[in-house]
Amino acid sequence: MPRVTIHRKAHFNAAHRLFNPAWSDEKNLEVFGKCSNPHYHGHNYELIVSVTGEIDPVTGFVMDLSVLRKLIQSEIEEAFDHKNLNVEVADFKTVNPTVENISVVIYNKLRTKIRTSLDISVKLYETPRNFATYSG
Ligand code: NI
């Protein structure tokens, strides 16, 4: 059967601060700019999750998109939406919540829930112009 990629878009708002605790505030400001603001700031994150696999001849699906939608909702949106990533999300207690690292955390959360015969890929927009992709 043909291998096809399906995509699901999702969205969450979250606050973060980029910083390295080993550095001074001055050094953090130099490296991370406005994103190192000690009082945090928010982003409107846009997420695209892509799943690639063979079309199931019975259903015509690579994966049921409503299952994917619910998975993103329960694993990602409920965990991240309207949260302070540094303070409220355990994954970022010791990991700097850059768009790169958030992508990896999202990928790892979804990877455990989607069967291994399907390849997955995450594209995460922190701003309309800044985004990261991760495929494991
Ligand atoms: Ni930021």
In sequence order, what are the residues at sequence separation of 6 or more whose Cβ sits closer than 8 angstroms to the Cβ of residue 12? 45, 47, 76, 77, 80, 81, 82
C-alpha of residue 41 to centroid of ligand 1, in Å = 6
Percent of the chain at pLDDT > 90 equals 96
Q: What is the pLDDT of residues 113-136, one digit of tens each?
A: 999 999 999 999 999 999 999 999
- Yes or no: say if 28 and 85 are a contact pair by the CB < 8 Å rule: no
This prediction's pTM: 0.95
Distance between CA 131 and CA 46 in Å, rounded? 9
Q: What pLDDT does residue 121 have?
A: 98
Our answer to whether residue 7 is catalytic in this structure is no
Structural tokens at position 61 = 């699906």
Q: What is the pLDDT of residues 10-35, one digit of tens each?
A: 999 999 999 999 999 899 999 999 89
Q: Which domains does the chain have, with CATH numbers?
A: 3-134 (3.30.479.10)
C-alpha of residue 69 to centroid of ligand 1, in Å = 26
C-alpha of residue 43 to centroid of ligand 1, in Å = 6
Distance between CA 5 and CA 42 in Å, rounded? 31
- Yes or no: say if 75 and 30 are a contact pair by the CB < 8 Å rule: no
Which of 30, 78, 82, 100 does the annotation list as catalytic? 82
In sequence order, what are the residues at sequence separation of 6 or more whose Cβ sits closer than 8 angstroms to the Cβ of residue 25? 36, 38
Beta-sheet pairing, 119-125 with 83-84: unpaired
pLDDT, mean of residues 76-102: 97
Res. 82: pLDDT tops 90:
yes
Q: What pLDDT does residue 25 have?
A: 87
Q: What pLDDT does residue 1 have?
A: 82
Q: How confident is the model at residue 88 (pLDDT cuts 50, 70, 90)?
A: very high
Average pLDDT of the residues of the chain: 96
